[in-house]
Structures are given as structure tokens and as C-alpha cells.
Amino acid sequence: MEAYLDNSATTRCSDRACQLMVDLLTKDYGNPSSLHMKGIEAERFVETAKKKIAKTLRVSEKEIIFTSGGTESNNLAIIGAAMANRRAGNHIITTSIEHASVENPMEFLKEQGFDITYLSVDENGIISLEELEEAVTEQTILVSMMQVNNEIGAIEPVAEAAELIKKKNPDTLIHVDAIQSYGKMYIYPKKLGIDMLSVSGHKIHGPKGSGFLWVKEKTKLKPLILGGGQQKGMRSGTENVPAIAGLGEAAEEIYENLDEKRAHLYGLKQRFIDGIEKLEGTHVNGKTGEDSAPHIVSVSFEGIRSEVLLHSLEDRGIYVSSGSACSSNNHAGKQKGSKTLRNIHLKENLLDSTLRFSFSVHTTEEEIDYALEVLGELLPVLKKYTRH
């Protein structure tokens, strides 16, 4: 049997999205910038995708910018906003548990002379609103934070954060990385009181290399990619119509019967946690109820290296992750310790013994039970090889 439990890294592309993409690659393959009928038809697919996505967020389709994925969306939001609003101030706030596609642009901006504040988190990975409020000043031009942490599934208090930020400095822009939350929860940016929102297609059963950035109308943003002026000059280059259309289809599909899908995911999560807690030497990290993301479980296994357990599970057809698949290696090719796990003050001996299990709407109870059964068999055997 096979159990794919690494859906936070990527998901299987939906049949509907795939079929539409095949048609666009082989039949309706025009360039949306062309003036002839083939181009006009291609442009219609782009506009349709915008409408589908805008409907899920209750925003205007004019506020959607298509990108190559979550990383580009985060870079455009953070660097684009910082550069466009530099005259207003040079202070930016983020959290200590952000994804590398937020963390590294922050480091880049630091080199450009911006002052970056990193908010701490508690043992569940949640920021302190008091610390955030204290950090906002007249010089704060941007606050960027994730809505759901990609490693432990912590849900940040975005609406409350936005309210106090705007109260203290109405001009501060708020960017939310919704890459792990979009498609798992209802998100209405205008109700949240934010200005920008990043989404990645391949986390919601859309194609890899697709994503979008929602930018509230009149938000000042400097483009990072210059060229032919596509997408109102905000992201030049010929639009990847098959990927955009596939993303639109996946977005529409994931929000159909979302309540049922969420109930399914939370049911799987509870079933998995109930089984894990019966196994000796296991520790579930962060919150585990409906105040956490429905699809992510972080588990530490005492005395067993995560890499060893990961490959032992792989040998049995079970696929999991030891952290963020987007930033698992540093430049020297060596595994980096998880920043998130360090910042929630996980015990030192568990940092290198933690795996992430993540589910999708296609995950079955049988897959969960199989993973638990195999873990029950493997853990006692692997513990015999514990380093002393």
C-alpha cells in the first residue's frame, strides 16, 4: 500500500485542472497578448481564472496578479511594497517562524538598509499581539506574517493583528502568506483588514509553477519583473495560460463543499493523533484541535533521527517530510535545523527527530491506519540504533 502524507509540500493535481491545462497546451494555445482570435480566447481563460479566484476571496478580479507560485508572490509583496513605500519609513515587521520565501527577502531588505523586527512565538507557534503592538511605529511600512505555519500548523491571529496595526499606524501595509491556509479555511482579505495575500497553486491541487498575489486596490507596489507590461505592468512576461487556468479551476474546486472537506481533514488529523499518542516516545507539537490547521501534524520521535525514520517509512510506501520541502537544504547541501521548532523551544534532543505529516482531501482513513501500523512496527526497531 502507498500513503502520501506530504501534502503540505505538494498535492496531486486535480483531474479537472489537468484536463483544462491539456486543452490549453494543445488546442487553445494562443498568446493572450495577441490581437487575433487565438489570443483573445487565451485572454478569456486568464480572465475566467481571475473571476473564479476572486469569488473565493470576495474581492475584485482586478486585484489579482498571477505569479509563478508562492515564493514569487511573497517576494513581490515584500520587496515590492518595501521599495515602493521607502520614503514613508524603513521599518518592517515579520515573525520568527516564517517560510524561507519571506525570511530571505527580509534579509535582502536588511542589506538594503531596512530595519527588520522579528516577533517571537509561544510554544504553540503563536505570536504575541502585545509584542506586535509595541513593535509598530510611525516608521513601520510593512508587516508580513503567515496565516498558517507550514511545519506545525499554527494559526496566527491575523484579523486581531491587522486591527491593532491599523489602529496604531493606518499607513502600514499588511501582507499575509496564505500558502498553507488558502483552500483549508475561508479567507476574506477585506474582512481581515489586510492589503496583500500570497497563494500557491500546487498546495491546492493546482499545477506547480502557478500562484497569485492579491493586492488591495491603490496599494503601492513596485514590480520585480519588467518587460512587456503584462498584468498592468505589475508582472511582465507572457502569461502562463495553462497554469493560470489550472490554478483557477483548482481554486474553484477546492472551495466547493469546503465545510465537508474541513471536517474530513480534522477527522483524519484526530484519528492520526489518537494513534500516535498510543506509541511510546512520541510528542505532538503545537495545538491539535480545530484552533490549528486541519491538515498538518508535527510529531517528534524520541531517540530516532528524522531522516532515518523518513526513509524507513518511504521503504514501506509512506511519504512524509522532515520540514519545509522548499528550504530543506542550505547552500552547502547540509540539512538545516528547523527555525520553527527552535522558536517554539522544542527540546534540543527532539529537533532532529521530528517529522511533518500532512493530509489532503484525497487522504483516506486506510492510509492513516497503515501509517500508524507501520510506525508501530518501526519505532521499537529503530530505537535499538539510538545514538548514546
pLDDT interval class at 38 (50, 70, 90) = confident
Please provide residue 249's backbone torsions phi and psi, each rounded to the nearest 5 degrees.
-65, -45
**Where a domain ends, among 254, 285, 300?**
254
Whether residue 388 lies inside any domain: the answer is no
State whether 231 and 170 are in the same domain.
yes
State whether 234 and 250 are in the same domain.
yes
**How does pLDDT run across 159-205, given as a tens digit for each residue?**
999 999 999 999 999 999 999 999 999 999 999 999 999 999 999 99
Distance, CA of 218 to CA of 227 (rounded, Å): 22
Please tell me the total count of domains within the chain.
Answer: 2
Whether residue 95 lies inside any domain: the answer is yes
State whether 31 and 164 are in the same domain.
yes
- The single-letter DSSP state of residue 6 is B
pLDDT at 385: 73
Question: Which domain does 62 fall in, by range?
Answer: 15-254
8 A C-beta contact, residue 3 and residue 371: yes
8 A C-beta contact, residue 281 and residue 293: no
Contacts of residue 171, defined as CB under 8 A and 6 or more positions apart, other chains included, come to 88, 141
Distance, CA of 206 to CA of 247 (rounded, Å): 5
**How does pLDDT run across 224-235, given as a tens digit for each residue?**
999 999 999 999
**How does pLDDT run across 51-110, given as a tens digit for each residue?**
999 999 999 999 999 999 999 999 999 999 999 999 999 999 999 999 999 999 999 999
State whether 96 and 234 are in the same domain.
yes
Question: Taking residues 3-18, what's their average pLDDT?
Answer: 97
Distance, CA of 93 to CA of 91 (rounded, Å): 7
Angle made by CA atoms 303, 305, 306, in degrees to the nearest 5: 125
State whether 201 and 344 are in the same domain.
no
Q: How many Cβ atoms are within 10 Å of 129's Cβ, its own excluded?
A: 15
pLDDT at 383: 86
pLDDT at 207 over 50: yes
CATH (domain of 344): 3.90.1150.10
pTM as predicted: 0.94
Distance, CA of 194 to CA of 190 (rounded, Å): 6
**Where a domain ends, among 192, 225, 254?**
254
**Where a domain ends, among 237, 254, 271?**
254
Selected residue with higher pLDDT from 386 and 86 = 86
Whether residue 24 lies inside any domain: the answer is yes
Whether residue 280 lies inside any domain: the answer is yes
Q: What residues act catalytically?
A: 326
Whether residue 281 lies inside any domain: the answer is yes
